[in-house]
Amino acid sequence: MDTRAVQQYVKRLLLAVFLCCCAGCYAEVPFAADSSRETSAPTSVSQLLQKQEDSFRASQRRANHFVATIVAVLIALLLVSLAFILRLVLRQKDIELDQQKQNLFHKKSVHRIAVSSETLALQRRCAALEAPSEDEWQQFQKMIDRNCDGFSQRLSSVYTLSQQELRVCLLIKARFKPSEIAILTAHSKEAITSTRRRLYKKLTGKDGTPEMLDELILHA
């Protein structure tokens, strides 16, 4: 819940207390007027004293009732506030738990990608200064999607990528270096740098560095 929602919530609580106070004060006014009318023409001193005593007792009862009402309202507001705070705490814990699960999933994905046969096959190609076959590219993409929750489909849903751009992203996801990406895609290192910068602009709509694209892809 954002700060604006919390402010609105506190304002409603204060308004409720204010209305209760006003209601209690308003209830005292008619009684005071009636008392003044009743005592305006006393028939005797004893009757005057009796009416004053009755008026005092009634006023005391009203005051006690008003105080009890305010206390009940304050207790209710306190309970609501505690429930509200508890909800925020539990929500924060849920967010932290989800973050921990995502981090754990990310670490496992990184390990599975690094030790997969598809990644090892591309590493051998890179060492031999060879580009992978079409079948190796397809198997590599399937492996990335399997371990990263449909990575290529999620990426393509944001922006339609060319085959070269998609392969660059897949290799970044597998933590290949720019020089290795250049070998595997049969492009110069400068061309890979330009592609990374252009991809960041496409995916975010903002200018950025090639390294910013790497961070974006690794955490996608």
Domain ranges of the chain: 3-104, 116-218
15 CB neighbour count, 10 Å cutoff: 10
116-218: CATH class: mainly alpha
User: Could you list the pLDDT tens digit for every one of the 220 residues in the chain?
Assistant: 455 655 565 566 556 555 655 555 544 444 444 444 444 444 578 888 888 888 888 888 888 888 888 888 889 888 888 888 888 888 888 888 877 776 776 778 888 999 999 999 999 999 999 999 999 999 999 999 999 989 999 988 888 899 999 999 999 999 999 999 999 999 999 999 999 999 999 889 899 999 999 999 998 7
Over the range 80-111, which residues count as b (16 or more CB within 10 Å of their CB) and which as e? Answer: eeeeeeeeeeeeeeeeeeeeeeeeeeeeebbe
Kindly report the backbone phi and psi dihedral angles of residue 85, in degrees, each rounded to the nearest multiple of 5, phi listed first. Answer: -65, -40
